[in-house]
């Protein structure tokens, strides 16, 4: 699913080709016992599903893009919710025509490289559902 090496608190993770990126990262964090981290990465995908939350309706609008795209920027964090790894990832994808799409990342299929830095944090923030925003917000 992935390979990795470590430099201090930072793990250098290579997601295997054709793996689903979000699931692979969650599995990596679970395997390594990482309960809090920052994430940044690059690579390429053959498809991605992005999510947009409409604050007015608190309804999610999901969009799937089945095309080859560069992961121009993958950023996010790892925390825990209900004792499990909770990923919060946003991504900007570059298209063939050099335009980009971006949003909250639900899933993406690696097609090429998937190079992600996972920097472990010493705190262990949790998450709690917030009625006002409809989001699982940090709980400190």
Nearer to Fe ion (CB atom), residue 97 or residue 132: 132
- The answer for 134, left when phi > 0, alpha when psi is -120 to 50, beta otherwise, is left
The number of beta carbons lying within 10 Å of the beta carbon of residue 45 is 26
Nearer to Fe ion (CB atom), residue 17 or residue 77: 77
User: What is the smallest separation between the CB atom of 90 and Fe ion, expressed in angstroms?
Assistant: 6
Nearer to Fe ion (CB atom), residue 38 or residue 104: 104
- The answer for 3, left when phi > 0, alpha when psi is -120 to 50, beta otherwise, is beta
- The answer for 44, left when phi > 0, alpha when psi is -120 to 50, beta otherwise, is beta
User: What is the smallest separation between the CB atom of 16 and Fe ion, expressed in angstroms?
Assistant: 25
For residues 69 and 55, what is the distance between their CA atoms, to the nearest angstrom? 28
Sketch the per residue contact string, 66 through 105, with Fe ion: x for CB under 5 A, - otherwise: --------------------------------------x-
State the number of binding residues for Fe ion (CB under 5 A): 1
Which residues of this protein are in contact with Fe ion, per CB under 5 A?
104
């Amino acid at each position: 699913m992935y390979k990795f090496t470590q430099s201090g608190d930072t793990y250098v993770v290579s997601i295997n080709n054709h793996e689903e990126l979000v699931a692979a990262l969650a599995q990596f964090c679970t395997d390594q016992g990482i309960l809090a981290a920052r994430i940044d990465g690059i690579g390429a995908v053959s498809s991605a599903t992005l999510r947009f939350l409409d604050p007015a309706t608190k309804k999610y609008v999901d969009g799937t893009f089945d095309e080859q795209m560069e992961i121009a920027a993958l950023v996010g964090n790892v925390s825990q919710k209900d004792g499990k790894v909770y990923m919060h990832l946003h991504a900007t994808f570059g298209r063939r025509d050099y335009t980009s799409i971006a949003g909250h990342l639900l899933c993406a299929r690696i097609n090429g490289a998937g190079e992600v830095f996972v920097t472990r944090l010493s705190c262990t923030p949790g998450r709690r559902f917030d009625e006002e925003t409809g989001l699982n917000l940090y709980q400190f």
